[in-house]
Amino acid sequence: MIYKEKFKIGLKDVWKGEEVSNIAILEYLENIAAYHSDSVGYGVNTTKQTNLNWLLLDWKVKVLKRPKYGQELEIHTWSRKIEKFYAYRDFEIYDEQMNLCAIATSKWLLVNSKTGKISRVDSEMAEKYQSEIDKMVFENEEITKMNIPENFENEIIYQVQRRDIDVIGHMHNLYYLDIAYEALPKDIYEERPFDNVRIMYKKETKLGEKVVGKYSNVEGKNVVVIQSEDGKVLHSIIELY
């Protein structure tokens, strides 16, 4: 089942040159994923009945063309594969002329909203999503593991604010990318936009916690590792290039 929605690029969604930003793209993708889950009965509006939440584990996004402010986008998404506790979801973004502008894939974990424990995707849920097992946007369908660089060139400290918290009490997924941008050296930051974005989420971040964003350039890729202040907890790894 391919689910479709239209989104109009607003003022906060663009950066210099009026082109849509990576954060806006991720917001569109996150929203359409939620809308699709709403439509099959496993979304935000039904959490109290199902006691289930989808937690995002990974993003892989490639931008092919950047639409500008005021343009309308048509976004397609579908469940590509469901395995035990995990679901894999792909996306395509089209402009008003139906030119393909971006592709993305993602990995999600199903958890019990009351206990916080991992929950298995049963056959009834899987059937409602109607996975498109032969349709994938990247040739290599699997999202590979990301590693922590050995050395870092720059770092920032950030304390999680009230505005960062999402509906399940964690720092919202999008704000990890904000922290990554802040950790970039100024000359690297000015190179935006980065047309390839990879984000791996490992451990949730909560209100008041301090995290450190550490930057490294690894083989031409800008890598930011977000850890706890003492370095013992890995929250996320972001790759931009």
59-116 pLDDT, tens digit each = 999 999 999 999 999 999 999 999 999 999 999 999 999 999 999 999 999 999 889 8
Q: Could you tell me if 62 and 104 are in contact, meaning their C-beta atoms sit under 8 angstroms apart? A: yes
Axis-axis angle for helices 174-183, 22-39 (nearest 10): 170
∠ CA 171-184-89, nearest 5°, is 50
Asked if pLDDT for residue 41 goes beyond 70, the answer is: yes
3-state DSSP assignment of residue 167: coil
| pLDDT confidence bin for 46, thresholds 50/70/90 | confident
% the chain with pLDDT above 90: 86
pLDDT of residue 47: 85
Asked if pLDDT for residue 14 goes beyond 70, the answer is: yes
Q: Among candidates 156, 163, 157, 155, which has minimal Cα distance to 207? A: 163
Q: Which residues pair with 79 in a beta bridge?
A: 89
Task: Provide CB contacts within 8 A for 11, sequence distance 6+.
Answer: 69
pLDDT of residue 158: 97
CB atoms within 10 A of CB 98: 8
Question: Residue 121: CA atoms inside 13 Å, Cβ hemisphere, count?
Answer: 21
Return the minimum-mean-pLDDT range out of 100-109, 122-131, 150-159.
122-131
| pLDDT confidence bin for 161, thresholds 50/70/90 | very high
What mean pLDDT, rounded, does the chain reach? Answer: 94
Over residues 144-166, mean pLDDT: 95
Q: Among candidates 125, 120, 146, which has minimal Cα distance to 79? A: 125
Q: Which residues pair with 72 in a beta bridge?
A: 8
Q: Could you tell me if 42 and 50 are in contact, meaning their C-beta atoms sit under 8 angstroms apart? A: yes
For the CA atoms of the chain, what is the radius of gyration?
18
Q: 32: which 2 tokens?
A: 């359409």
Over residues 134-161, mean pLDDT: 92
pLDDT of residue 222: 98
% the chain with pLDDT above 70: 100
Asked if pLDDT for residue 197 goes beyond 80, the answer is: yes
pLDDT of residue 107: 97
Return the minimum-mean-pLDDT range out of 21-25, 91-95, 163-167.
163-167
Exposure string of 161-199, with b = 16+ CB inside 10 Å and e = fewer, is eeebbeeeebbbbbbbbebbbebbeeebeeeebbeebbb
| pTM of the predicted structure, to 2 decimals | 0.94
Q: Which residues pair with 80 in a beta bridge?
A: none
Asked if pLDDT for residue 141 goes beyond 70, the answer is: no
Provide the CA 21 distance to its chain's centre, in angstroms.
Answer: 13
